[in-house]
Amino acid sequence: MFAWRKRLVGFKALPRTDDDPHFPGHMGVSWKVDERRTYRDFRFRIADLPPEFRPAERWRGYLFEHSVPGYVDNGMMLRDAHVRGPKALLCYQCDGSSGAVRLLEKSTKLGRRGRYSFSPDPEAGVHNCVTWAFTILNEILQKKLPLVRDGRMKLAVEFLRKLGATESV
């Protein structure tokens, strides 16, 4: 006899805070099967920026005007925030089928994927972490959550809160 397994899929968002003026916030997806949680996010690498734009105070400006290679990563920043506990991470999750979890695993394989920019164009394969997370979950869950205007973290956080997102679930 097969045991029933609890499966959840959803967003994880690390909102911008006043503590670090250079941190724009970060978002990714996660899935949980029983007690095992997996995180994925979409990011750029500092090394892909021209040397003069690698300091934190300069890379944001560069990424509004340019795109760089994008990478699906293991979401360690999100995982670490989740471990830190309440108020560290905003979470929206819903029940997921075994098929949804398999699709999520398949569509978030680690490695270079598309382009990353703070002026995303999802139709052209150019994302930031917000548009990537919404696009991935829309595909997997076959929902049509609206892409947040310009992939802005602040708007994504407001939207997720309206959906019922909570802190560190």
Task: Report yes or no on 2 lying in a domain.
Answer: no
Instruction: Give the model's pLDDT for residue 168.
Output: 64
Domain that holds residue 84: 7-167
CB neighbour list of residue 166: distance below 8 Å, 6 or more residues apart: 90, 91, 92
- Helix (H) or strand (E) run with residue 33 in it: strand 26-33
Task: Report yes or no on 158 lying in a domain.
Answer: yes
Instruction: Give the model's pLDDT for residue 2.
Output: 47
Instruction: Give the model's pLDDT for residue 87.
Output: 65
Task: Note whether 31 and 104 are within 8 A (CB).
Answer: yes
The token pair at 62 is 């560069």
What is the mean pLDDT, run by run of 10 residues, along the chain of 169 residues? 69 81 87 90 96 91 95 90 75 83 91 95 93 90 76 86 78
Instruction: Give the model's pLDDT for residue 4.
Output: 60
Instruction: Give the model's pLDDT for residue 81.
Output: 83
Task: Report yes or no on 1 lying in a domain.
Answer: no
How many Å apart are CA 129 and CA 102, to the nearest integer?
A: 21
How many domains would you assign to the chain?
1
- Helix (H) or strand (E) run with residue 69 in it: strand 68-73
